[in-house]
Amino acid sequence: MTYRAGRYVGLAMALVMVTVAPASAVDVSPHRALYRLTLDSAKVSSGLADANGAMYYEWGETCGGWGGDQHFRPRLLFADEGTADIKPSPVSS
């Protein structure tokens, strides 16, 4: 019984290897996008009355490779504390 099961597993693996095509190179196009962000809903207990902002994203070719640029500017309005403009600092790795 073990021999028969092993044969089926081997056959199944061979079929997977035949049907899976190797990954091929893809052309990546540079792009730029600007997103407008708005709050759809919030729980009353959160204290958040409104939220909006924008996110800018750019992806393109640089010297010797590809690079991206992203900016995120959210604005939060709290029921008791007023408006908070959040200015995230860039992080690189």
Tell me how far CA of residue 60 lies from CA of 1, 14, 24, 28, 48, in angstroms.
57, 40, 20, 9, 36
3-state class of 13 per DSSP? helix
> What is the reported pLDDT for 68?
86
What's the number of domains the chain is made of? Answer: 1
- For residue 39, is it within any domain? yes
Q: Nearest 5°: phi and psi at 21?
A: -85, 145
- For residue 2, is it within any domain? no
- For residue 74, is it within any domain? yes
Q: Which domain holds residue 91?
A: 29-93
Note down pLDDT in tens along the chain; length 93 residues.
444 445 555 556 655 555 555 666 667 788 899 999 999 998 988 888 999 999 998 988 888 788 888 888 889 899 888 888 887 766 654
- pTM equals 0.54
